[in-house]
Amino acid sequence: MAIGLPGSGKTTLLKKAAKRYDLTYISRDDIREEMLGDALVQSANKQVWQEANRKTIAALKSGRGVVLDSCFVEAWKRKDAIALLRESGADRVIAVFFNVSIEISKERNLKRKYVVPNRAIDWMYERLKEHPPSKDEGFDALYTVDKTEEFERMELAHG
């Protein structure tokens, strides 16, 4: 499970990890793109989350591991995702917190295909600041990456 602001490196690096470890990659942005034609459209979030959950459950029930790529800036969403993963058969839930500064997030965001409004990034930053991810939320492991280059050197437990 990825946690972090837009532009923090989540998608770039987790797609590589999913491919490397043969995991099912699930991105709510990709689902929005498929369903609505635009990853930034927030009008159908309930349906997007339901589809992401359906894909997650299906992958886990078939014995595949999953990579969940979303911001997960709200603690309650992380807890719900952990519960869904466990109920669906995940034997481990590992989070990677991409802890980049808001300035870096905004700078990188401007170079993305879909630019997230600064007010949304500010809102997400405040949620993470209020409730940063903690292993106490139910993760088996929580990695914090302060520099995305570190992630490329990390070996994720998979087996």
In a domain, 157, yes or no: no
Domain count within the chain = 1
Q: Residue 151: what pLDDT?
A: 45
| Mean pLDDT score across all residues of the chain | 86
CB count within 10 Å of CB 66 equals: 21
pLDDT in tens, 68-118: 999 999 999 999 999 999 999 999 999 999 999 999 999 998 988 778 899
DSSP strand pairing (94-98 vs 2-4): parallel
Give domain status of residue 155, yes or no: no
Residue 29 lies in a domain: yes
According to DSSP, the residues that pair with 145 across neighbouring strands are 98
The 10 Å Cβ neighbour count of residue 93 is 20
Could you list the residue range(s) of the whole structural domain that residue 131 is in? 2-149
Amino acid at 107: E
Contacts of 70 (CB under 8 A, 6+ apart): 1, 2, 27, 28, 29, 52, 77
**What stretch of H or E contains 77?**
helix 75-87
pLDDT at 136: 95
User: Span 46-57, mean pLDDT?
Assistant: 89
- What CATH code is carried by the domain that includes residue 13? 3.40.50.300
For residue 36, being part of any structural domain is answered with yes
Residue 133 pLDDT: 97
Gyration radius (Cα) of the chain, Å: 15
* Closest C-alpha to 32, from 56, 16, 49, 19: 49
The answer, yes or no, to whether residue 150 has pLDDT greater than 70, is: no
* 158 falls within a domain: no
| Beta pairing partners, 26 | 68
Would 114 be classed as within a structural domain? yes
Domain-located, residue 53: yes
Residue 148 has pLDDT above 80, yes or no: no
SS3 of residue 25 by DSSP: strand
Q: Is 64 a member of any domain?
A: yes
